């Protein structure tokens, strides 16, 4: 079988064309996959961060000191900021990683808040009871002491009134 020079050139050209088409389609598919993956990770991170904020807000409403958690939220928010802005500028490398980091920080915050919220609620309840006890017992004791003072005062007042001699005025 003879291969002419022309045929070899034709076959080589065809192979090169197939290779080019294959490379571009794989490259495009890879880029789309990267972009899709980044977009998915970003929306996961956004949801995770919102959940974390709601959990921190709940803990704060229960009376917990959330200063530390707010710092952690800002750290997670920083990762999301970086990831979103990189995505917008079409630089997809590192977006998924930063979004993942945001999600894991957010999850850590959520698990931290449940403990904090529990202890804050217990502390708040204790404090409420203490306050109610102070008001109830204190108010009652004060009223009782005042009543006793009143009884003693009334007795001494009556005694003083009965013991006093009537003054008789004279027109002389």
Partner 1 sequence: MLKLGDFRAIFLVFGLAGVLLFASPSFGLFLHLPQGEKFSELWLLGPEHMAKNYPYNVTAHADYFVYLGVGNHMGSPMYYGVYLKFRNQLEPLPNDTAGAPSPLVPLYEYHAFVEDGKSWEVPLTFSFSNVSYGMNQSLVGSLSINSVAFNVNKGTSWDDENRGYFYELFVELWIYGVESDAFQFHDRFVGIRLNVTGNV
Q: How far apart are CA 54 and CA 88, in angstroms?
A: 26
Q: How far apart are CA 103 and CA 73, in angstroms?
A: 11
Site for partner 1 in 125-164 (CB under 8 A): 128, 131-132, 134-135, 138-139, 142-143, 146-147, 149-150, 153-154, 157-158
User: Pick from 92, 86, 84: which is nearest to 33 by CA?
Assistant: 92
CA torsion angle 151 152 153 156 (round to 10): 120
CB of 145 to partner 1, least distance (A): 9
Q: Are 98 and 76 in contact (CB under 8 A)?
A: no
Sign of CA dihedral 101, 104, 107, 112: negative
CB of 33 to partner 1, least distance (A): 23
Q: Are 102 and 83 in contact (CB under 8 A)?
A: yes
Q: Does 97 bind partner 1 (CB under 8 A)?
A: no
Q: Does 93 bind partner 1 (CB under 8 A)?
A: no
CB of 153 to partner 1, least distance (A): 7
Q: Does 61 bind partner 1 (CB under 8 A)?
A: yes
Size of the site for partner 1 (CB under 8 A): 40
The residues that touch partner 1, with contacts defined as CB under 8 A, are 49-50, 53-54, 56-57, 60-61, 66-67, 70, 73-74, 77-78, 80-81, 84-86, 88-89, 91, 128, 131-132, 134-135, 138-139, 142-143, 146-147, 149-150, 153-154, 157-158
């Amino acid at each position: 079988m003879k291969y002419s020079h022309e045929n070899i050139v034709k076959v080589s050209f065809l192979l090169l064309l197939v290779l080019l088409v294959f490379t571009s389609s794989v490259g495009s598919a890879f880029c789309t996959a990267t972009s899709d993956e980044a977009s998915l990770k970003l929306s996961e991170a956004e949801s995770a961060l919102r959940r974390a904020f709601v959990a921190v807000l709940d803990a704060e409403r229960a009376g917990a000191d959330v200063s530390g958690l707010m710092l952690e939220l800002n750290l997670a928010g920083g990762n999301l900021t970086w990831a979103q802005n990189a995505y917008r500028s079409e630089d997809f490398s590192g977006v998924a990683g930063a979004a993942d980091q945001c999600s894991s920080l957010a999850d850590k915050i959520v698990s931290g808040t449940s403990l904090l919220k529990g202890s804050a609620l217990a502390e708040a309840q204790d404090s409420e009871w203490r306050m109610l006890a102070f008001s109830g017992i204190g108010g009652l004791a004060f009223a009782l002491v005042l009543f006793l003072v009143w009884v003693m005062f009334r007795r001494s007042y009556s005694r003083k009134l009965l013991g006093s001699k009537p003054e008789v005025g004279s027109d002389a």
